[in-house]
Structure 1
Amino acid sequence: MNSIVFYPEAKKELFNAIQYYEDCQTGLGHRFRRSIETATQNILSSPLTYRILKPPFRRYLLSKFPYSIVYSIEPNYILIIAIAHGKRRPYYWSKRKL
């Protein structure tokens, strides 16, 4: 398995979070994006390592930002379901179709 696919809403969440952090402080959005890139590489390397939330969903917690990456393991790729803020609307993404 060597590819990541973003659910359309997850891609929007990512861009919105990057823009928010960049608006807060120049360069912070870039740091957030790099944190997401590192996380997705870690997920690709060891997709079964991270906590199961609600099958088939797993969660990777970012260490320096209050976000998590919610994903599912598909036969040929990792599907990023959400870039979810840790303090907002828990499980809002659970109704997204696989």
Structure 2
Amino acid sequence: MKIRYLPEADGELEEAVAYYHARNPQAAKQFDAAVRHEERHLQNHPYSAAATLAPWRAWPIPHFPYSLIYRVARQELIVVALAHHSRRPGYWKHRLPERH
């Protein structure tokens, strides 16, 4: 199953990696590896996350204050946000594609 990040979600991933890298390059590598690991898990088990705003689901990144917010659509996972846990819940709702 393919994973597709919306541009805003991709930007959040880049910003988070840059944030960790500026403070601790090893932490940035660990964060990126954790995100990629969870992506692989979701590719194999796409419905394992709770539907927070059906059909959108939230999957936490272990050891980091982030969750992948995504939806299963045909043969791909659409990631709408890499949401930091301290942000306002649902801040990403305006990104939801009308057609999905």
| C-alpha contact 2:43 2:77 (8 A) present in aligned 1 | yes
Offset at residue 95 of structure 1 (A) = 1.4
Unaligned runs of 5+ in 2: none
Q: Which runs of 4 or more aligned residues in structure 1 lie more than 3 Å from their structure 2 counterparts after TM superposition? A: none
1:30 aligns with 2:29: yes
The superposition leaves residues 32-69 of structure 1 with CA deviations (integer Å, 9 ceiling, x where unpaired) of 11000001001111011111100110010111100000
Superposed CA RMSD: 0.8
Alpha-carbon distance in structure 2 between the residues aligned to 1:60 and 1:29: 19
AA in 2 matched with 1:5: R
AA in 2 matched with 1:79: I
What TM-score results when the alignment is normalised by the length of structure 1?
0.95
Unaligned runs of 5+ in 1: none
- Between the aligned residues of both structures, percent identity stands at 28
1:66 aligns with 2:71: no
Alpha-carbon distance in structure 2 between the residues aligned to 1:94 and 1:42: 24
Kindly tell me the number of residue pairs found equivalent between the two proteins.
97
Counterpart mapping for 1:1-98 below 5 A? 2-98=1-97
What TM-score results when the alignment is normalised by the length of structure 2?
0.93
